[in-house]
Structure 1
Amino acid sequence: MFHVKRPEGAVTMKLESERLLLRRYRDEDFEFLFSLVKKPQVMRHIGEGTTKNRQLALEFLYWIYRSYREHPRNGLMLLIRKEDGKRIGHAGLVEQTVDGTKELEVGYWLAPEFWGMGYAREAAAVLCREGFKEHGRNRLISLIQPGNTASRKVAQAIGMNCEKELMRGGQPVLVYVLTKERWHGVSDT
């Protein structure tokens, strides 16, 4: 159902699912990224819940680029709908430290006009496959604020369970976990 496409020897990761193409950000994607991070409804459950102006959005893009250099197989990737090439959000595997332990997070954001269509679940599922099969991880997490019911539903749909609640950046965050063993029973089709 899900396929991973990778040019041989290349660092530019590209993943795809039935309806989505996931690729690394490029400079020409900045306006789309800015359109996401300036919307209160998108940012309300991200970090401190505040929007970003143009300068902060540019700094965020630079952070994404730095993460590609520091962790060449990870990072946030642009989500593109295959049927029309439209940018619809981003998702990726992001290195996190939780309670002193290095973890790999499955993260996803969509533009509001694409909410409720199953795209986040589809992207998260392909990222789980990548994390378990290609990265050899035995455990993946998602960090989700308690009020973000849509993201919690996505995590549960791919087989994640809430392990605990903690504080990050002054915000309560739920740590959702999916183990490789559980994934094989739920999502490995």
Structure 2
Amino acid sequence: MKFTSERLTYRLYDQADFDFLYSILSDPEMVRYIGNGNTRDVQETQLFLDWILSHYKSNEEYGLKLIVRKEDNIPIGHAGIVPQTINGKQQLEIGYWIAREYWGKGYASEAAKTFLNRGIKQLGITRFISLIQPDNQASRKVAIKNGMKLEEEIVLKGKDVCIYSFMS
């Protein structure tokens, strides 16, 4: 599975992408608003990669996809449609992480919009969420730019989280 947007290519992760994933997960600034905010070591990164790969077994459309910049074939982050359980209910999240050196260039907005449109047009999904910690202003702007609205604030795994939603 491989598809593109204006400046980006999206593809399935594989084991060869471990070093890139580790570079993101071991950067304190990158994970500040992700999960518990802690960096991950080599073993924890492998577990996270295994989790990513596990989504592909049930449906390759779900799970995080590696984002590669078309102009130079460099991986810059990941995004995707990620199944989440929120308050006992299955929901589909539009998730996106961009490596720090590529922040502020519109890549997160482009990726989020690509997955939102793909979900609606090709998969027939009518509702999406994005889970964003309150202080993550950049991700909140991406959600709003792509038509999402703040639905509620909850505590998820001990962290305050804003749920942004989109209904088509």
Which of 145, 157, 163 is 1:169 aligned to?
Answer: 157
Two-structure CA RMSD over aligned residues (Å): 0.8
Q: Find the counterpart in structure 1 of residue 123 from structure 2.
A: 135
Could you tell me which runs of 5 or more consecutive residues in structure 1 were left unpaired when the two chains were aligned: 1-12, 181-189
Distance 1:91 1:72 in 2: 13
Q: Find the counterpart in structure 1 of residue 31 from structure 2.
A: 43
Distance 1:123 1:72 in 2: 17
Residue identity matched to 1:163:
E
Q: Find the counterpart in structure 2 of residue 5 from structure 1.
A: none
Distance 1:158 1:41 in 2: 24
Distance 1:59 1:98 in 2: 22
Deviations 1:88-147 (A, max 9, x none): 000010001112221110000011000000000000000001111122111111000001
Distance 2:150 2:136 in 1: 13
Q: Find the counterpart in structure 1 of residue 78 from structure 2.
A: 90
Q: Tell me the TM-score normalized by structure 1.
A: 0.87
The alpha-carbon deviation at position 72 of structure 1 amounts to: 2.9
Structure 1 segments (4+ residues) deviating >4 Å: none
Q: Tell me the TM-score normalized by structure 2.
A: 0.97
Distance 2:72 2:50 in 1: 27
Distance 2:136 2:106 in 1: 16
Q: Within 5 Å, give how 1:69-80 maps onto structure 2.
A: 69-80=57-68
Aligned residues: 168
Q: Within 5 Å, give how 1:47-58 maps onto structure 2.
A: 47-58=35-46
Q: Find the counterpart in structure 2 of residue 65 from structure 1.
A: 53
The alpha-carbon deviation at position 23 of structure 1 amounts to: 0.4
- The answer to which of 132-141 and 114-123 deviates more is 132-141
Distance 1:150 1:24 in 2: 25
